[in-house]
Chain A
Amino acid sequence: MSLDVRLRHAFGSFILDVDFTAPAGVTALFGRSGAGKTTVVNAVAGLLRPAEGRIVVDGATLLDTARGVDVPKHRRRIGYVFQEGRLFPHLSVRQNLAFGGWFAPRTAPQPDFGQVVALLGIAGLLDRRPGLLSGGEKQRVAIGRALLSAPRMLLMDEPLAALDEERKAEILPYLERLRDETRVPILYVSHTVAEVARLATTVVALKDGRVARIGAAADVLSDAGAAPLFGPTEAGAVIGARVLRHDPDGLSELAAGGGRLLLPRVAAAPGTTLRVRIHARDVIVALRQPEAISALNVLPAVVAQIGGGEGPAVDLSLICGPDRVLARITRRSLIALDLAPGRPCFAILKSVALEGRESGETTAAFRAEDR
């Protein structure tokens, strides 16, 4: 399945001009507020008609302004999960969920009601009214409702933005299961790097109305040139690691492609694969294997790419086995250590910095080589 989007639309002085193709899985549409993400999603859903554009989902042309094709929104079969949920207040949760099913075409494969309810953990809410649900519950129902309309793809517009940290942490596992267990492709809008890192298969980064970078999640997040898009505190790579065991002193040992990782205890059982997020600013680069330091994770690496820019800090993309890790260091050190592409070095990560909260289970592939 693929998503083909080409759009051009002007809002006053802001011009949106995007052109991208995304494969199956979760495609994260990332960008700062105002970068044009919601406009793209609304155009795909049929809620907005761009001045010029062509949108093809899984071979079906939904919009082609050049040929006068504009499928009305109720026939596009695109499930949309809105930021505010938008559940129908006068219908019960069960009726809200069933709503999409009432209008799904007979020929489409009908999703199983029980399965979706179980996937999202909302069985206990079925007879309630939306007015009595918490924010997290509402969003889960909204996701269920969209799924049950047998969509050819799901759109999610910052579905976690209106929730507090607790609720977000509660829902993210459901979204991961959604990604891994259903075959419905998802276009996920977010301005939060943590969500993107945890969920995305593909990342489309928008800046000022244009696509700045597109690629597999692992590649985009470890790209030194793309790091400015994510900002100094949020930039960082995502690598896959399998849980080996949980040590009695509260640490968990994982096996990553480039070496062993020790983190504070993660909730996953041994054998599960996790995505581990490594903030670039938490990575120290050394030319020689350090001795007698507190950091427990020292991975052999090779410098692959040095980011641009002129400030006091610079981003480096390091190759660690099959993975890439992003490191952010001072320009002074870059020069002092004479780091250049090809230079072997060590990436040092504090265990404590690899806080488990940001790591989620994954079974889907998120590196280009895995697809």
Chain B
Amino acid sequence: MPTLTPDEWQALALSLKVSFWATALSLPVGLLTALVLARGTFRGKSILNGLVHLPLILPPVVTGYLLLLTFGRRGPVGAFLDANFGIVFSFRWTGAALAAAVMAFPLMVRAIRLSIEAVDARLEDAAGTLGANRLWTFVIVTLPLILPGVIAGAILGFAKAMGEFGATITFVSSIPGETRTLPAAIYGYTQVPGGQPQAMRLTLIAVAVAMTALIASEFVARRVARRIRDG
């Protein structure tokens, strides 16, 4: 298989970087959200659930546009973050990571929530009667038992982030080295006559990465589940 051009490497490396950070930073948020949705009882829970799933249902371009309005240079959150923390999303890889994180979030939360719901809440009650407060119960009882689901959710989120296109290109366009991720590069090559070979190469790589991620997630989740059960 022919080697990649520097441009293609750049797109691949950027995609990996963007997806990694998108997954790493949204995982704690996703875990907390899944916990709240699985175990919480409060008004507005269905609204929260709806909000979480919005990126799954809205057209990606719409999500990208909403991100632009909110986190763009002049958006309420974007301007605030820039002025106070120096965090800029506009036309930067951080923006691509944000778009990828938002699009991957619902999948991550779903996977983790399902695994939390599979844990018998009565075990958590038992831990409480033995003196463990909610935090300790979560760390010692719930977390180990949901670990396979968390891993699966993280890898699923990573794979989705790798494939994110519509929201990214709408929010931060396609800038080589900053926001021209693998899908954006593939799209670019398909638009130019004679770009077929590059598009094909990158497509194969994208497929390979996605397949590896999905197979790995299955494998790791099962291994971890067995470890937990058998010690």
Contact = CB atoms under 8 A, between A and B. Distances in A.
Touching in the complex, A and B, CB below 8 A?
yes
Interface of A: 45-47, 72-80, 82, 84, 86, 88-90, 92, 99-100, 102-104, 129, 131, 145-146, 149
Given A86-B122, A88-B123, A103 B230 contact: no
A79 B130 contact: yes
A90 B127 CA distance: 13
Contacts of B126: 80, 82, 86, 88
A90 B129 contact: no
Q: Which of A45, A47, A86, A145 has the most CB of B within 10 A?
A: A86
B122 A89 contact: no
B35 to A, nearest CB: 18
A352 to B, nearest CB: 43
B145 A89 contact: yes
Contacts of A74: 128-134, 137
Interface string B114-136: 00000010110111111111101
A90 B130 contact: no
Contacts of A146: 129-130
Contacts of B130: 74, 79, 99-100, 103, 145-146, 149
A86 B123 contact: yes
B193 interface: no
B129 A79 contact: yes
A103 B132 contact: yes
Interface string B61-74: 00000000000000
B141 interface: yes
24 contacts: A47-B128, A73-B128, A73-B129, A74-B128, A74-B129, A80-B129, A84-B122, A86-B122, A86-B125, A88-B123, A88-B126, A88-B141, A90-B144, A99-B130, A99-B132, A99-B140, A102-B132, A103-B130, A103-B131, A103-B132, A104-B131, A129-B229, A131-B230, A146-B130
Given A82-B122, A103-B136, A89 B129 contact: no
B128 A89 contact: no
Would you list the 7 A-B pairs with minimal beta carbon distance, nearest first? A103-B131, A86-B126, A80-B129, A90-B228, A73-B128, A100-B130, A74-B133
B197 interface: no
Interface of B: 120, 122-123, 125-134, 136-137, 140-141, 144-145, 228-231
Nearest to B141: A88
Contacts of B132: 74, 99, 102-103
Contacts of A77: 131
Contact of B229 (A78, A79, A90, A100): A90
B231 A92 contact: yes
Given A72-B133, A75-B131, 4 more contacts: A74-B132, A100-B131, A104-B131, A145-B130
Given A80-B126, A103-B136, A149 B229 contact: no
B122 A99 contact: no
Contact of B127 (A79, A99, A104): A99
Contacts of A145: 130
A78 B230 CA distance: 30
Contacts of A45: 129
A47 B127 CA distance: 11
Nearest to A76: B129
A193 B230 CA distance: 38
Contacts of B133: 72, 74
A90 B226 CA distance: 10
B196 to A, nearest CB: 51
Contacts of A86: 120, 122-123, 125-126
A85 B127 CA distance: 12
A89 B131 contact: no
A79 B131 CA distance: 9
A76 B125 CA distance: 13
Contacts of A149: 130-131
Contacts of A82: 122, 126
Nearest to B227: A90
Nearest to A82: B126
Looking at A47, A73, A129, A145, the one whose CB has the most chain B CB atoms below 10 A away is: A73
B149 to A, nearest CB: 14
Contacts of A92: 231
A79 B129 CA distance: 6
A208 to B, nearest CB: 27
A79 B134 CA distance: 17
A131 B230 CA distance: 8
B131 to A, nearest CB: 3
Contacts of B144: 90
Nearest to A148: B130
B135 to A, nearest CB: 10
